[in-house]
Structure 1
């Protein structure tokens, strides 16, 4: 089950670098845990920053536009 010959296709994994929100906060929290031998009491500030960042990310609602390959197929059908 391969693709048809002559169709347009873009590999979405190589399309671009994905933005990874809250990565900085997660790394600081994990570093704090490793420095304090997994003591969560000493890393309360970093944990709060991480949870606040994650809460703001879940409140953003994004509409799914479909995959880029789906739209390329639609354009290709109209061209014929």
Structure 2
């Protein structure tokens, strides 16, 4: 079980914080909800900012697969 010795591997959790595009808007919305004790009508500005940020993201990106999958493919071709 596990990985073979000498194989290429990148820990994806290490690079997980590189792309979080709407984190600022989401944190402001959640903090507003916490301060108003769940009152959604008081946080309409933060909600619209979060919705605009999420709508602006490119959702039609084709996934390329994980980096470790491609590293395994490269190492197979090298042999």
So what's the TM-score if we normalise by structure 2?
Answer: 0.78
Following TM superposition, where does structure 1 have runs of at least 4 consecutive aligned residues deviating by more than 4 angstroms? none
Distance in 2 (CA, whole Å) between partners of 1:16 and 1:46 is 25
Distance in 2 (CA, whole Å) between partners of 1:16 and 1:45 is 29
Residue 45 of structure 1 corresponds to which residue in structure 2?
Answer: 45
Does structure 1 residue 76 correspond to structure 2 residue 75? yes
Distance in 2 (CA, whole Å) between partners of 1:35 and 1:6 is 52
Tell me the matched-pair count: 79
CA RMSD of aligned residues (A): 1.8
Distance in 2 (CA, whole Å) between partners of 1:25 and 1:42 is 15
Residue 6 of structure 1 corresponds to which residue in structure 2?
Answer: 6
- Give how far 1:24 is off: 1.0
SS of the aligned residue for 1:13 comes to helix
Does structure 1 residue 63 correspond to structure 2 residue 62? yes
Structure 2: gaps (5+ residues): none
Structure 1: gaps (5+ residues): none
Which has the higher Rg, Structure 1 or Structure 2? 1
